[in-house]
Structure 1
Amino acid sequence: MLDVHRLVVLRSVVETGSIQAAASLLGYTPSAISQHIAALQRETGTTLFERQGRGIRATEAGRLLASHARQIQTQIAGAETALSDLRAGKSRRLTIRYFATAGAVLIPPIIAEFVNRFPEVRVELRLGKGLTSEPADMEIMVLDDGIQVPAGLHAIHLLDDPFLAVLPPDHPLAAEKTIELGRLGAETWIDNEWPSSICRETILHACGAAGFSPNFVVEAHDYATAVAFVATGLGVTMVPQLALTVIPTTAVACLPVTRPSATRSIYAVVKETTENHPTMSVFLHLLRTVAASHASGAAEWESGREAVSERSCKSVM
């Protein structure tokens, strides 16, 4: 393996044109410079300089190594700058992973404000992978008591998101203000999360506590499709309130569920080493502000989705 320090010496000799000039520039004696060059020639088994009159001239191999030495020094300088920025809490990239609802509701209202504050930071938004061996700077996700957050990560609670029963508009219970979950036991159901997820398991657990297992007759893979099926009268479903803020619901009835209620808990999972860095702190603050606005609106569902959405956007300005 080539010695990086000797490559730096080689570059200096090539670019200054003499051992004496390189020695003066690097603060070495000419003898020390000559020793480094001789050692590098032994390492490479190549002649790096040849005599030219009373001086020396780099060979093709010497010029080639000097070019690579320049690239190596540039990369090292870049690494040192990036490390210095990281220690000072300056990050040039922020990778945020999210699940579908968070991507549609929680993140958009804060991106413009964050980019305005940190125009030099590149925000990478990617669909979540869960707590894998490839952690992002932040992962917005649904957690339950059965999920263990790995060491080095910190789970920060954002909000509890209640599920609402979604019924066809002409359903006998559509005019109710709330609905006891057990009253939906005999209904046909539309499955909205397949394969199974924490959210689906939350619904199944609540239905089990109410004394029944849902009779799924339609399989959908997302909330919007499930709501569209409900609108046609194919069955009923349950959808988190946060998701319903971005799904057309004029053709269905959405009712809070009681006895029991069903709720999913949304968290931001961040690296402990970067949690207090300025960029992360600001992003997390904006995210918690939007989440708190939606959480405070959970008891105001009947006042309309528009008021909740408007309040969320204004809260980060």
Structure 2
Amino acid sequence: MLEKAALLAQVARCRVLDLVEDDAADLGAQHVRVALLVEDPLLLAVPDASPLAGRADIAPEDLAELPWIAVEGGSEAWRDDFVASCLAVGFRPDIRLEAPDPLAAVGLVASGLGMALVQRSMLPGRTAGVTTRPLPWLGQSVRLWAAWHRIDLRPVVTSFRETVLRAGADHGRPAGADPAGPGLP
């Protein structure tokens, strides 16, 4: 089991569900319910001046040897995971910069410093200096989950949970996702 300070550090990094699933923290996982709220697809963000900005279809080989901005993920192996996902579809990214979050990456892309994969919700409208392109062959997304204690009799918690789950359904929860949410294994 993790000590309290280590657990709080992981919570700050949004890794609480990972810890519960791995039994690293005893939070009563048998009493936790989870539901997928949104599966937010990753888009390729490129500077407007990039030759890729004018192309409707982009193949994996088009992305090789171009400057990349890697967006830090939630796990310690985020960079390795990013490179592995690129290799799996057929190219090796030339990572020139690392951004601590998607919005920082978008700013770096707008400055013409490279391209990045950013979830669609981070680019709600037209961002000056940035063009986005879908990469259907990539098949990656960022998932937003809700988690709650299975037995909670407080009406305000129930109301909040129902509101959040409805919002998830309205904003792209995958078809067939269980709004009540399964328990953790």
Question: TM-score normalised to the size of structure 1?
Answer: 0.43
* Greater RCO structure (CA 8 Å; 6+ sep): 2
Distance 2:167 2:39 in 1: 13
Distance 1:228 1:209 in 2: 27
1:281 aligns with 2:158: yes
What's the counterpart of residue 250 of structure 1?
A: 128
Aligned-pair Cα RMSD in Å: 3.0
What's the counterpart of residue 109 of structure 2?
A: 230
What's the counterpart of residue 150 of structure 2?
A: 272
Distance 1:128 1:219 in 2: 17
2:15 aligned to 130, 142, 145, which one? Answer: 130
Deviation at 1:254, TM superposition (A): 1.0
Q: Deviations over 1:226-262 (max 9, x none)?
A: 111111221110011122238x722100111122221
SS of 2:144's partner is strand
AA aligned to 2:135 is V
Q: Deviations over 1:248-298 (max 9, x none)?
A: 722100111122221122211111122x642222112221232233317xx
Distance 2:172 2:48 in 1: 26
Decide whether the 8 Å contact of 1:182 with 1:211 is kept in 2. Answer: yes
Distance 2:123 2:13 in 1: 20
Distance 2:81 2:121 in 1: 15
Distance 2:12 2:79 in 1: 19
SS of 1:228's partner is helix
1:263 aligned to 128, 131, 141, which one? Answer: 141
Q: Which runs of 5+ in 1 are unaligned?
A: 1-125, 132-140, 297-317
Decide whether the 8 Å contact of 2:15 with 2:74 is kept in 1. Answer: no
Decide whether the 8 Å contact of 2:70 with 2:98 is kept in 1. Answer: yes
Deviation at 1:211, TM superposition (A): 1.9
Distance 1:163 1:200 in 2: 16
Deviation at 1:222, TM superposition (A): 1.6
Decide whether the 8 Å contact of 1:202 with 1:264 is kept in 2. Answer: no
AA aligned to 2:15 is G
Q: Which has the higher helix share?
A: 1
Decide whether the 8 Å contact of 2:35 with 2:145 is kept in 1. Answer: yes
1:292 aligns with 2:154: no
Q: Give matches, 1:80-229, under 5 Å.
A: 129-131=14-16, 147-148=21-22, 150-193=29-72, 196=75, 203-229=82-108
Return closer, same or farther for 1:167/1:209 CA change in 2, 3 Å cut-off: same
**Larger Rg, first or second structure (1 or 2):** 1
Decide whether the 8 Å contact of 1:159 with 1:291 is kept in 2. Answer: yes
Q: Deviations over 1:198-232 (max 9, x none)?
A: 87666444312112332211122121221111112
AA aligned to 2:161 is L
What's the counterpart of residue 32 of structure 1?
A: none
Return closer, same or farther for 1:253/1:202 CA change in 2, 3 Å cut-off: farther
Instruction: Give % identity.
Output: 26
Question: 4+ runs of 1 displaced by more than 6 Å?
Answer: none
Question: TM-score normalised to the size of structure 2?
Answer: 0.69
Distance 1:155 1:201 in 2: 27
What's the counterpart of residue 304 of structure 1?
A: none
Distance 1:154 1:260 in 2: 30
